A and B are shown apart, each in its own frame.
Chain A
Amino acid sequence: MILFFSQRIRTCSNVSIAEILLQIQEAPFLSFPIRDVTNIRCWLATIVQPILDKYGMREVEEDSGIALDKLAMNLAEARLHIDCVACSSPLLFEMSEKFGSREGVEDTTKVANDIFHYIARFLSGNFVQNQLDRLVLSSSLMCPHSPAYNRAFAGLKYEEMPAVEGSGNLNGFLVAIIIVVGVLLSLASVLVLVTRYISRQRHATWCRSLTREQFAELMKEQLDTKNREIDLNNRVTSLASCQDVPMIVRVLMPLIILGNVGLFLSGHLSLGGTVNIIGTFAGQGKKDRTVSVGRMTNLANTGT
């Protein structure tokens, strides 16, 4: 669907404050040759050069050379007009009306100021400062009358920034889990061993308390049990050839196990899931997807 609209932004009382600190070297400034007066690089070369590390970052955080400070922008009122020329979406008509309302103007002004505040913070931050530092540093190499002038200069080269370490220490987490599991397993093992030891001790004490006839009877009983176990082993065959297992199960079970191995392999090698991104703008496709979108609105928040 093609939409055409024109937009106008009218601002009132736009206030911008910026403090730019320039530390200029006296000697290069006073001996500035007339022939380079139009070369901006040469003017930048007169500024005190910052000291950058191997990553191209300032080593000292002090304001030296060129620095952008106390940057602030503010709007007293921002009024945004949108005129729909050929809009098919009802939401864009609605939006153009809302921009003209008093609440709309107030909110537009607030959002514009928030954005300006954000931009001001961004411009006062390290990123812009770093670009300015590099500009100053490269200017001395590009200015023909500068002592550091390099005709074959092809840009400053710095090492790549090392990747930022994640906040979570995975190995520490694993060690914590291993310690907890290890302690639990050790406790359980100790408990089992102690219980067995106590049982054996009690059994030994009980055996000692028996008369010779009773003990002999106990030994015979134990021997009979062992013999019965051996006999039972001789009677029982493998499950694959056991007559008590229905024929269909005997035939199917190995096939099921093999099939299941195949299923596991398929599960591990095939795609487990894909991340899809679905978006809508200005109420397009609203007619056929109203229900779905309505349901989906809280999909990400249905956790609790």
Chain B
Amino acid sequence: MTASDFNVEGFFEFSVVQSTIEMWQAGAYPLAILIAIFSGVWPYTKQCLSMYIWFSTTKSLSCKRRGRILVWLDVLGKWSMVDVFVLVLTLASFALSIESPRHLSFLPEGLYSVRMLVVPKWGLYANMLAQFVAQISSHVIIHFHRKSINKADVDQRVEMGLERPKDGTQSKALCEHCFHLDHDTRAVVRKGFKRVLISSFFLFALLVIPGCSFPSFSKETLGIVGLVIESGNPNLEEAYTYYSVFGLARSIAEQGRFLGTLPDLVGLGTLASLLIVTVLLVPLAQAACLFVMWFVPLTKRRRATSRVLNEILGAWQYTEVYVLSIFITSWQLGGVSEYMVSRAASSIHLQQSKVLQLTNPQDQRVLRIP
């Protein structure tokens, strides 16, 4: 009898194009279309539009329209991050661990263990890197667009002898601003509204922090693999795992440490940090920025700076992308896990599910992660 470690590398391989084609072939048309739009069409459309804007003159594209399109591209740029997040969630969901049962006294602790894990490859990192570059270049283009407009505006005012906008050294809180409704009428925000805004900010923070701490999704492993995992659990508990944002980040970071190589440590560490930063810290920072802009007395220049900062933070907050990715992952993971096993073990005819009666109809397969 031979006893040694074993390591099966490349049991199943993921790539965005291959997965989308397989989804289409498997009949999951809506899902394939969704992935193709967010991951395939949108990033290239954005890059092509950015290139067009960079070279287009103001005769074909007015300054105003150029600015609007750039801002929209910046706001919607985050959606091409869907495939990266889906892979990150898949990475955590496929982390399965089969341990020898601890409750059986005749088996020594750690007699056997089998672990399945998804190791990210260049495709994932290239996508993530491209996303970073796309967003940063988008901010740079917007910056230079505004700079050129401001310069032209100053020149125009000088030539036309128009009054230059006030320098704005005087600090003023936006919440105390008087709006000129008419030649005679002024309007200020009601005091009650301030309380509502303060409460909203705190409520937002209170919702975001527990939202990242409590589980956002759970994973149940079914099939024979699920039964084997359950056999190793105390009291034969079901093979459930719950994931919160923090838990997910910890799981990814742990995997990086387990794999041990420098590229995995850096890559998975970046992924874990990206998750925490974009889903937790940036939304909180954006809320704080808006709070400051509204309540704290700011000069005109500082307010403009805060506005740009808020715009950048808005582009980097990925909460909604994370939520959509959870939907997509939970939707496709069951099929992917079944497909993965059926492709790997196609020679083993274990699909006679109507005939093969195991303990539970859900366990009439090798592996399913719903």
Contact = CB atoms under 8 A, between A and B. Distances in A.
A276 B106 contact: no
A251 B56 CA distance: 15
Given A274-B12, A300-B241, A98 B54 contact: no
A164 B354 contact: yes
Given A240-B55, A295-B257, A303-B219, A166 B334 contact: yes
B11 A276 contact: yes
Interface stretch (A11-19, A146-154, A228-236): A228-236
B39 interface: yes
Interface string B1-27: 111111111111111110100000000
A91 B118 CA distance: 29
B195 interface: no
A267 interface: yes
Q: What is the size category of the interface that chain B forms with chain A?
A: 35 or more
Interface stretch (A40-48, A63-71, A103-111, A137-145): A103-111
Given A2-B2, A274-B119, A282-B111, A299 B258 contact: yes
A256 interface: yes
B115 to A, nearest CB: 5
Contacts of A277: 6-8, 11, 114-116
B114 A293 contact: no
B229 to A, nearest CB: 8
A273 B121 contact: yes
26 contacts: A2-B2, A4-B1, A57-B355, A91-B110, A95-B106, A127-B352, A174-B31, A229-B62, A235-B155, A253-B141, A254-B55, A260-B133, A264-B44, A267-B129, A268-B123, A275-B340, A276-B9, A278-B7, A285-B5, A289-B5, A299-B255, A302-B251, A303-B242, A303-B244, A303-B251, A304-B242
Interface of A: 1-5, 55, 57, 80, 89, 91-92, 94-95, 98-99, 101, 103-104, 106-108, 111, 118, 121-122, 125-127, 130, 161, 163-164, 166-168, 170-171, 173-174, 177, 206, 214, 228-229, 231-240, 242, 244-245, 249, 253-254, 256-261, 263-264, 266-286, 289, 292-293, 295-304
Given A233-B62, A266-B126, A300-B97, 7 more contacts: A118-B359, A126-B356, A229-B62, A249-B140, A268-B40, A269-B15, A272-B15
For the complex of A and B, list the 3 residue pairs with the smallest distance between their C-beta atoms, beginning with the closest.
A267-B127, A125-B357, A267-B126
